Structure formats: C-alpha cells, structure tokens
Amino acid sequence: MSFAAFCLLMASVAASVGGQFFLKQGALALGTIDSSNVLAAIVSMITKWQILVGLVCYGLGVVTYILLLNKVNLSIASPLLALSYVFAVLLGLFFFKEKVTLVQYIGIAFIFLGVVLLTRSTSS
C-alpha cells in the first residue's frame, strides 16, 4: 500500500471514529428516549450540534473512502476499515467509561491481526 493510500485509510478511519464519538455524545445529550417521546427525540436530533458534527465527520469519511477506493482494491480497503471498530471500542472505554470484556479484547486482537495480515499480503 502506498503512503498516499495509507494516509487516506487513516483519514477515513479517523473521520468514521470521530463521527461515532460525536453521535454518541449527541445521543447522550438527548436524554432518555422511550415510546412516549421517540418522535420528539428524532426531531430534536437536528438541534444537537454533536449529532451534526458526527454526520459531517461521517461525510468526510465517505469522501476519503472514495478517494481510497481510487487507489486500492475494494477487497483490501473495506476490511482495513475494520480498524474503526478497534478505535470505537477504545473511545467507549476511555471517553464514555464503557466496560470492555475479555471477549471484546480478544475480538480487537483478531481484527488487528486481520488488518496486519491484509496489509502484509498486499506488499508481496
């Protein structure tokens, strides 16, 4: 993988993870949602700046992913985006104090190993 493709991959992952971070913050800002207020919560989503920033981040992630697809095969690019799952779990752990189980850590290790194997197979 070229340096430019690697930079696009990292930008796409960072934008996606940023989107997840801000959408989570926006979801928390909405408060408790149940069947009695679900419509009002949906309408109030457009007023939460965190949700709007999250959507912009996702949009930037799509743009960088399209640029990445111009340089790398889909069969490589798509699985490499799994890195966003690793960083999303870490965001949950450190910023939102979510519990991460041993099984989740093992899953993260498998994802990371898969990404390493994919990038090594493309350099052969």
Q: Exposure pattern of 22-49 as b/e (b: 16+ CB <10 Å)? A: bbbbbbeebeeeeeeeeeeeeebbeebe
In tens, the pLDDT along 45-97 reads 999 999 999 999 999 999 999 999 999 998 888 888 888 989 999 999 999 99
Q: Which two tokens stand for residue 120?
A: 């090594």
Confidence of residue 99 (pLDDT cuts 50, 70, 90): very high
* Tokens representing residue 23 in the block: 């959408």
Q: Does residue 100 contact residue 88 with C-beta atoms inside 8 Å? A: no
Whole domain around residue 60: which residue ranges?
3-123
What integer pLDDT is reported at residue 121 of this predicted model? 65
- 3-state SS string for 21-86: HHHHHHHHHHCCCCCCCHHHHHHHHHHCHHHHHHHHHHHHHHHHHHHHHCCCCHHHHHHHCCHHHH
Report the sign of the C-alpha dihedral through residues 41, 43, 44, 48, in that order: positive
* Domains: count for the chain: 1
Do the beta carbons of residue 88 and residue 20 sit within 8 Å?
A: yes
Report yes or no: 45 and 22 within 8 Å, Cβ to Cβ: no
pTM of the entire structure? 0.83
Supply 12's token pair.
């796409």
